[in-house]
Amino acid sequence: MSTATKKEHKQNRPQRGGVATFVEAIRQGIWEEMERDPSVFVIGEDVGVYGGAFKVTDGLINEFGEERVIDTPISEAAIVGAACGAALMGMRPVAEFQFIDFISPAFDMLTNYAAKCRYRWGAGLPTVFRGPCGAGVHSGPFHSVNAEAFFLNTAGLKIVEPSTAYDAKGLIKAAIRDPDPVLFFEHKKLYRLPRLREELPEDDYIVEIGKARTAREGRDLSIITFGAQVLTALDAASELEREGIDVEVVDLRTLAPMDKASILASVKKTSKVLILHEAARTGGIGGEIAATIAEEAFEWLDAPVVRVAATDTPVPYSPPLEEYHLPQLKDVLDAARKLAAY
Amino acid sequence: MSTATKKEHKQNRPQRGGVATFVEAIRQGIWEEMERDPSVFVIGEDVGVYGGAFKVTDGLINEFGEERVIDTPISEAAIVGAACGAALMGMRPVAEFQFIDFISPAFDMLTNYAAKCRYRWGAGLPTVFRGPCGAGVHSGPFHSVNAEAFFLNTAGLKIVEPSTAYDAKGLIKAAIRDPDPVLFFEHKKLYRLPRLREELPEDDYIVEIGKARTAREGRDLSIITFGAQVLTALDAASELEREGIDVEVVDLRTLAPMDKASILASVKKTSKVLILHEAARTGGIGGEIAATIAEEAFEWLDAPVVRVAATDTPVPYSPPLEEYHLPQLKDVLDAARKLAAY
Amino acid sequence: MTNETQRKAGGRGGRSKASRESGKKGVAESSSSQGSGNGASSSGDGGASSLEEAGQEFQVTEMWLNGLPSADPLNERGELVCTSETSLTPDEMLELYRYLKLTRVVEERLVNLYRQTKVVGGVFRSLGQEATAVGTAYALETQDFIAPLIRDLGAVLVKGIRPREIFAQYMAKAWGPSEGRDLNIHFGNMEKGFIGPISHLGDMIPVMTGIALGGRMQKKNLVAVAYIGDGGMSTGAFHEGLNFAAVQRLPLIIIAEHNWYAYSTPTSKQTAVKNLADKAAGYGIPGHIVDGNDIIACYEVTKKAVEHARSGGGACIIEAKTYRRKGHAEHDDQRYLPEGELQFWETRDPLDRYERHLLSKGIATREKLDEINADISREVDEDVAWAESSPMPEPEKAAYNVFDNSVVPPAFRPPVFGSEQ
Amino acid sequence: MTNETQRKAGGRGGRSKASRESGKKGVAESSSSQGSGNGASSSGDGGASSLEEAGQEFQVTEMWLNGLPSADPLNERGELVCTSETSLTPDEMLELYRYLKLTRVVEERLVNLYRQTKVVGGVFRSLGQEATAVGTAYALETQDFIAPLIRDLGAVLVKGIRPREIFAQYMAKAWGPSEGRDLNIHFGNMEKGFIGPISHLGDMIPVMTGIALGGRMQKKNLVAVAYIGDGGMSTGAFHEGLNFAAVQRLPLIIIAEHNWYAYSTPTSKQTAVKNLADKAAGYGIPGHIVDGNDIIACYEVTKKAVEHARSGGGACIIEAKTYRRKGHAEHDDQRYLPEGELQFWETRDPLDRYERHLLSKGIATREKLDEINADISREVDEDVAWAESSPMPEPEKAAYNVFDNSVVPPAFRPPVFGSEQ
Ligand SMILES: Cc1ncc(C[n+]2csc(CCOP(=O)(O)OP(=O)(O)O)c2C)c(N)n1
Ligand SMILES: Cc1ncc(C[n+]2csc(CCOP(=O)(O)OP(=O)(O)O)c2C)c(N)n1
Ligand SMILES: [Mg+2]
Ligand SMILES: [Mg+2]
């Protein structure tokens, strides 16, 4: 699939803040943390001279050298294991998966070693495991995964997925400073999306892990979502506004530990919930969200909890098939209208 | 942890039916399928002369030889990959994980190769991946996992977990005859539990994959569960009966594809639901069940959907800690009483 | 002399006895299968580590010579050709040419279609390394199986997959073998002995171990050939799969394509061995080294390995030294290449070289080759047209075939509030 | 001669030049680090594959001799002792004895406690292979790190972990280092350079690669030692971790404990190589072979490897040939053992052997050893008493420390209907 292109070289130090794309915001965040803290280093496949498949680490090697920007063999389990070992020594690794699909060979290292170390003997592992996730760019079954649900049942892993440039920078910096392992998922569709270009503060800032964000205030129903689907939700909201339906959009930002308080607050406000995610419906994170609501906000509900998600198949390659598989704006509108009318 | 003991040798052919334990029922099922179909073979670590860590494959090598009972190196990814390759050739492998905890190094092979083959190019893989799961026997963080939720979001894998000897035999036989990959989880606590000894039919039978079972009829509330927790649910039901609470217990048996119809039928009958599972609460399969109910049976609900599960930690080793972590009878009773009183 | 000292030592050193002997055939044996193997792998501070230690300053000869025959096969005019010792008939050699050229032409067409944005997703070229895929696959029988890499289009064509299937796949069309569900060569054809790969590198090694295992159980006398890159060999799946095959003495042949890069990563950052074939020693199997740009040498070494495997000799590794002249995919700017490297490899182009071989050895006339090329263009034109004429898949088709739909229904999008309301 | 022919060839063959030379120290070098290495690994159809091909009929000498020094070190009376060439002082040799004996005694105590059902879970013995763990670990400095296997209790004790911690762990007590959260040696102590393993075999190799990587970044001059079994080397994690360490030339030493079984699986079903050290060749690093029951040889070979690694020489594999005399765990009936195997290995018990060595070489008197043993019993009695006096953990403690609780609250069981009602 087409990743970064020749034109986009930004070998040099990124500016501090200023107008930035989603990818540039993450690059700024990592760069600033490496300047701030010598124990921070980057490790992964093709992250050095090449600057990463999506150029997230572009230029870092020129600034920080091979010692702190490490190209590895094609060995995801070793990347995770080595990151954990280095973290035990007091380093703060930021490990890249070239695509989040390739986190799966490291599933064991993440869920059994990284996740359980502090619990077993008090050894916290300040580690970040990041990479491009998500579908919608016709990359087929092996370059499109949304992996959050694979890890949600394993205590000890934080999961973060931003949807704005501001949050991306603030959250990657928070993740790097976090005392525990953080899985940081970046939807590849957002990296260079003009719509997400925004002015970032010059000064150092972080966005706290574990806190959702109200992307849009509304009274009639809540769409609870995250990542690239926040944009679908916002588009649906403006369209529904014209129909007199006032939609609130909650951007979770952190998927584990989940911000239950914000979810429940929104539900109690609107009494109707639509959960939207890009991964397959069955076994997806929507189940956890719906269960939490059905359990803790039952009395406030005026309608069934509705999930809009991908169909229960792998992510197909061909555009018409992928479009059928993925949740579309029309699916959200349809569900929202039925919910509103319920 | 203590697995099988010297006394238990059953090197010879098991009887057809008769009174059998849970482990013996599975052994009977595999044995009979190997007799019936020469393409069925067993592959895994120590499954040959040793007969498997829990003796599920005991004696098979004497009967069927090294060609069809294959001891492998400690290579779970290779076990799964080789099983898939052999299945492409028309064989029907039954692969054992010594403990289901060790399925994690094969997560990639299972979710990316096994699960997607038919969808990608029509090559169905009749494969069974089985092994002992579950906690409660003080085996610590790495010999106690309940892994169903790891796989629930990956389309293409069936997941089965029986709770009786009859079902165990009928389901392992159905799994071996199934045209698609089946993950078959056997709770190690059930293997030799006297309570589960029962008379099995002499004749060949299977239990259909995808169908839940009503383990107990009731009017007041439904406990939806599976595996070893079915016993906890039944114990709770009899205790609550004395208090005049009539509990229905649904044993899912198959976790994917889930028997929604049976779940919804029970909910519509009792209007109150308690979901019980042994894995950690957050991100567990209970979320999917609760979401399905909140979405499709909302109008029939008279109370919040309650989940009783393990706490969100690894499985600790020391008995008092493990007891705190795992759902206990008292937790089920407490939740059921509150639900009934709601 | 220990491996470290080898790694430090410079100079070209001498060729090993083994490789000198087999030099005529462009085939060497590595330390793993040779007492004198260490000679071979200590021969010059070659390849990877020379690039590494010279800080990316390119050292053509050492990089190239390392582990390979002492002398390139040359024709009378002193031009680089292919090994002349072969059991191939002239007709077979022409067929081999046809596949080699076809591979190049199909890929060039794919690039055109890509530029016309008719290809969905990326195009991954094998420019400069086509001889490895074509030559090795040509040594197989119909009952044998291959699991190629994305860059082994040539092997797929040799196995009988038609260009139209490839074009349709790349264009995500309904008539493609995966009906638009997966991309490029990600499909399979059991009748033709072709198991398409998945993206996750290394995973096909255990799968091909299973193909060989199943084949043995069924008394099929087949050989399984799995292609893997210098990068893919670093995966755990590669290790587990090959180790298991070696223990079981299964007929699994690993074609290790040493094209010097894994995406942007040079081999020196992938492994500390000199030759990928050296890895065979860790599995107790033989390792062979061949000039991957000498199509006849590739055929010959594979032919022997196949016979050996088929007769119960077990697994082996064949390292083909070649070079990936294009970037990882079309978007890759190759900024990581050292000066002069590309130019050197252009002079070793496997197609030019084989053409020269056929002509100067009088195996074919220019006219004959033109005929073949014209024929190829015709076929490719037809197949592109066919593929373009294919419709895109019906959206709803996406719901089918997750499971056998006679057992489990298709995965349609459920109605809001579910099927129960 | 290729590996196959090696595998088929029978007979003992001659020792390799390398191993003959280093024989005095009970240390041989394998093909991976020796030009003459193939000699070593072709020396006799030894080890695994002899057992395999003889259909489990035991062939002591070949199994034993394969890859090892030609001659066992014997004392005047012709009894088996340890290598006499050593830099160890008499006091150090007595300390070494203390650790060796302590390991044996602690394990025997654990078995008693197990029989009294005071141990929760299983007991995994290292009976007969204690010298490997103790001898290799004794060669390390305080700043060095180890990741032992479950059977390397001896290494853990050498690293300064007290028996009481082990007893408390096995009994799942609150005073145990993991406070009852994990079992046996599944804990760690960064100050003492001890990283406890997890159950998943192979996973500690990448982790120790990271320890070495982090140590280098921090300019700590440390060496990382990872223990792995004949079985564990078959895992993908082992391959990925060691390969990465080799590429980075990190100071990682792999102690490959060749104790002939992985649970019930013989080495012949685990790998097709003769010597585990042969696997070093696949990583471009040296491999060494040592008599794992000769505690001094284990110390010496590790000492050299550590110096080499510390001075920038990169990773290596040390294969220790030893034997697991007990079953995988207490419940294992060892039904899979060939006749005579146990008996043979009893005669090579590393503790008897070292005691004999110390006495017959006049390094220690019987009285001195008795003194040490009395001292050990005293310590072990005390520590068992201490551990038994520990309470079991408070149930609620189970909720703490999944995350840093100053950031994320403990994971208590939530109230029914949730915190919101
Ligand atoms: C397990 C895994 N990790 C990462 C990737 C991403 N990736 C795709 S191709 C590639 C480089 C492959 O290099 P090599 O194995 O040498 O094959 P070549 O492209 O040179 O033919 C990488 C890293 C992958 N496909 N699989
Ligand atoms: C990845 C993985 N698979 C399976 C197991 C189960 N298991 C525990 S110990 C063991 C045998 C280990 O043998 P070896 O590596 O030779 O070590 P030894 O017990 O001989 O010291 C097995 C298969 C495991 N712990 N990890
Ligand atoms: Mg390559
Ligand atoms: Mg062992």
| Contact assessment for residue A211 and residue A265, using Cβ atoms and an 8 Å cutoff | no
A84/D200 touch (CB, cutoff 8 Å), yes or no: no
Q: Which two tokens stand for residue D357?
A: 């060595």
* Calpha distance C386→D301 (Å, rounded): 68
The structure tokens 């209790």 sit at: D153
Ligand 2 mean position, distance from CA D199 (Å):
8
For ligand 1, say whether the CB of C320 is within 6 Å of any of its atoms: no
Q: Residue D419's pLDDT is what? A: 72
CA distance A70 to A93: 10
Q: What is the mean pLDDT of residues A258-272?
A: 98
Confidence of residue D121 (pLDDT cuts 50, 70, 90): confident
Residue-level pLDDT at B6: 41
Identify the residue among A88, A154, A289 best suited for mutation to test binding to D, counting D beta carbons within 10 A and taking the highest: A88
Whether ligand 1 lies within 6 angstroms of the CB of C232 is answered as yes
Distance CA D11, CA C401 (A): 56
Q: What is the pLDDT of residue C28?
A: 60
| Cβ–Cβ contact D177 with A under 8 A | yes
CA distance A296 to A301: 10
Give CA D9 to chain center in angstroms: 31
- Residue D382 clears pLDDT 60, i.e. is over it: yes
**Per-residue pLDDT tens over the stretch B222-247:** 999 999 999 999 999 999 999 999 99
Which ligand 2 atom is nearest residue D129's CA?
Answer: 21
D248 φψ region: left (φ > 0), alpha (ψ -120 to 50), beta (else):
alpha
pLDDT of residue C331: 86
Contacts of D172 in chain B (CB under 8 A): 138, 317-319
Q: Does residue C202 register a pLDDT over 70?
A: yes
Number of helices (H), then strands (E), belonging to chain D: the values are: 15, 10
Indicate the helix (H) or strand (E) that contains B248: strand B247-251
The per-residue pLDDT for D331 is 86
What average pLDDT does this structure show over D114-125? 94
The CA distance from A274 to the nearest CA of chain B, in Å, is 10
Query: What pLDDT does residue D183 have?
Result: 97
Q: Nearest Cα to B155, choosing from A276, C416, C400?
A: C400
B250-295 pLDDT per residue, tens:
999 999 999 999 999 999 999 999 999 999 999 999 999 999 999 9
Find the mean pLDDT for residues C411-421.
85
Asked if omega into B304 is within 30° of 0 (cis), the reply is no
pLDDT tens profile B48-88: 999 999 999 999 999 999 999 999 999 999 999 999 999 99
Q: pLDDT by residue (tens digit) across D3-35?
A: 333 322 322 222 233 333 333 445 565 544 333
Whether residue B75 contacts residue C245, with contact meaning beta carbons closer than 8 Å, is answered with no
Q: How far is C384 from chain D (nearest CA, A)?
A: 42
Coil, helix or strand for D390?
Answer: coil
Mean residue pLDDT of chain A comes to: 96
CA dihedral sign of residues B226, B229, B234, B237: negative
DSSP state of C408: S
In this prediction, residues D25-52 reach a mean pLDDT of 36
For C7, counting Cβ atoms within 10 Å of its Cβ (0-12 exposed, 13-18 middle, 19+ buried), the class is buried
Q: Per this entry, what is the length of chain A?
A: 342
Measured in whole angstroms, the distance separating CA C161 from the mean position of its chain's CA atoms is 16
Gap from CA of C237 to ligand 1 centroid (Å): 13
pLDDT at B7: 43
> Where does residue C61 fall: left (phi above 0), alpha (psi -120 to 50 degrees), or beta otherwise?
alpha
B273-280 and B221-225 as β-strands: parallel, antiparallel, unpaired? parallel
**To test ligand 1's pocket by mutation, which of A54, A98, A129, A139 has the most ligand atoms within 8 angstroms of CB?**
A98
The pick from D201, D265, D324 for probing ligand 2's pocket by mutation, whose C-beta has the most ligand atoms within 8 angstroms, reads: D201
CA distance from start to end of chain C: 77
- pLDDT tens digits, one per residue of C305-349: 999 999 999 999 999 999 999 999 988 989 999 989 999 999 999
Q: Do D181 and B331 touch (CB under 8 A)?
A: no
Residue B74 CB less than 6 A away from ligand 2: yes
The finding on whether D262 has its CB within 6 A of some atom of ligand 2 is yes
A172 membership: H or E segment, kind and range:
helix A165-177
Convert the pLDDT of each residue in A174-205 to its tens digit: 999 999 999 999 999 999 999 999 999 999 99
**Confidence band (pLDDT; 50, 70, 90) for C293?**
very high
User: Residue C27: what pLDDT?
Assistant: 58
Contact C418 B158 (CB under 8 A): no
Radius of gyration of chain D from Cα atoms?
Answer: 22
- Contact at 8 Å (CB) between B292 and D390? no
Residue ID of nearest Cα to ligand 1 atom 12 = C262
Model confidence over C266-292: pLDDT tens digits?
999 999 999 999 999 999 999 999 999
Residues 344-403 of C with CB under 8 A from B: 401-403
Residues 242-271 of A with CB under 8 A from D: 257, 260, 264
**What integer best gives the mean pLDDT of chain C?**
87
Contacts C248 to B, Cβ<8 Å: 70
Handedness of CA D161, D162, D168, D174 (dihedral sign): negative
Does A259 or C50 have the greater pLDDT score?
A259
Task: Name which of C307, C351, C389, C393 is nearest C129 in CA terms.
Answer: C351
Probe site for chain A from D169, D240, D242 (most A CB atoms < 10 A): D240
A143 is catalytic: yes
Percent of chain A predicted with pLDDT > 70: 97
The preferred substitution site among C263, C264, C332 for testing ligand 1, maximizing ligand atoms within 8 Å of CB, is C263
Query: What pLDDT score does C38 carry?
Result: 27
Question: Does pTM surpass 0.95?
Answer: no
Q: Does B96 touch chain D (CB under 8 A)?
A: no
Closest by Cα among C152, C179, C79 to C322: C152
Question: Which of chain C's residues have a Cβ under 8 Å away from the Cβ of D239?
Answer: 234-236, 238-240
Q: Return the amino acid letter for A159.
A: I
Interchain proximity A109–D203, CB inside 8 Å: yes
Residue owning tokens 């020196």: C268
pLDDT of residue B265: 98
Q: Which of D416, C35, A112 has its CA nearest to residue B334? A: D416
Q: Is the pLDDT confidence value at C31 over 50? A: no
Average pLDDT of the residues in A134-162: 98
pLDDT at residue number D27 = 59
The CB of C199 under 6 Å from ligand 1? The reply is: yes
D32, D42, D250, D274: best mutation site toward chain C, by most C Cβ within 10 Å?
D32
A63-96 burial: b if 16+ Cβ within 10 Å, else e: ebeeebbbbbbbbbbbbbbbbbbbbbbebbbbbb
> For residue B24, how far is its CA from the centre of ligand 4 (angstroms)?
29
B104: contact with C, CB 8 A cutoff: no
Taking one residue from A and the other from B, the number of pairs with CB-CB distance under 8 angstroms is: 156
Distances (CA, A) of C55 to A19, B325, C268, C339, D285: 37, 55, 11, 12, 22
Please identify every residue whose CB atom is under 5 Å from ligand 3, which is an ion. Answer: C 229-230, 259, 262
Query: Over chain B, what is the mean pLDDT?
Result: 96
The end-to-end CA distance of chain B, in Å, is: 42
Chain C hits for D283, CB-CB cut-off 8 Å, are 271-273, 282
CA angle D182, D185, D190 (to 5 degrees): 95
Residue D249 CB coordination number (10 Å): 19
Q: How far apart are CA A258 and CA C35, in angstroms?
A: 61
Residues 402-421 of C with CB under 8 A from A: 402, 411-414, 416-418
pLDDT band at C121 (very low <50, low <70, confident <90, very high): confident
A110 Cβ neighbours under 8 A, 6+ residues apart? A80, A103, A129, A151, A154, A157, A181, A183
Q: Which helix (H) or strand (E) element contains residue C154?
A: helix C153-158
Structure-token match 């169909």, residue found: A311
pLDDT band at A133 (very low <50, low <70, confident <90, very high): very high
Looking at chain D, the whole-number percentage of residues with pLDDT higher than 90 is: 80
pLDDT confidence of residue C62: 46
Confidence at residue A10, expressed as pLDDT on a 0 to 100 scale = 53
DSSP3 helix / strand / coil % (chain A, rounded to 5): 40, 20, 40
Give dist(CA B258, CA B158) in Å, integer.
9
B105 Cβ below 6 A of ligand 2: yes
* 0.85 surpassed by complex ipTM: yes
Q: Identify the residue whose C-alpha is closest to ligand 1 atom 17.
A: C229
Q: Output the six-digit token pair for B55.
A: 């003796």
- From CA D41, how far away is CA B253, in angstroms rounded? 52
The percent of residues above 70 in pLDDT, for chain D, comes to: 83
Contact C404, B118 (CB under 8 A): yes
Question: Helix, strand, or coil here: D304?
Answer: helix
| Ligand 1 lined by C327 (C-beta under 6 Å) | no
- Rounded CA gap, A273 and A282, in Å? 18
* One-letter amino acid for residue B312 of the chain: D
Secondary structure letter of residue D268 according to DSSP: G
Distance between CA A200 and CA B177 in Å, rounded?
59
- Checking if the pLDDT of A236 tops 60, the result is yes
Lowest-confidence range among A51-55, C214-218, D35-39? D35-39
Residue with tokens 């129960």, as numbered in its chain: C420
- What percent of chain C lies above the pLDDT cut of 90? 80
Per-residue model confidence as pLDDT tens digits over C379-415: 999 999 999 999 999 999 999 999 999 999 999 999 9
Q: Which atom of ligand 1 is nearest to the CA of C235?
A: 1
Q: Is the peptide bond before B257 cis (omega within 30 degrees of 0)?
A: yes
Confidence at residue C29, expressed as pLDDT on a 0 to 100 scale: 56
Q: By the CB < 8 Å criterion, does B264 face chain A?
A: no
pLDDT band at D330 (very low <50, low <70, confident <90, very high): confident
Subunit partners of chain C (3 or more CB pairs within 8 A): A, B, D
Q: Which of D393, D405, D249, D382 is nearest to D315 (CA)?
A: D249
Evaluate: CB of A74 within 6 angstroms of ligand 1: yes
Q: Are B313 and D411 in contact (CB under 8 A)?
A: yes
C61 vs C392, more confident: C392
Per-residue confidence band for C5, with pLDDT thresholds at 50, 70 and 90: very low
Distance CA B149, CA B140 (A): 19
Active-site residue identified among B9, B138, B143, B325: B143
Name the minimum distance, in Å, from the CA of D279 to any CA of chain C. 4
C-alpha span between A273 and A267 (Å, rounded): 6
Q: Nearest residue of B to residue C246 by CA position?
A: B73
pLDDT over threshold 50, residue D416: yes
pLDDT greater at residue C67 or residue B214? B214
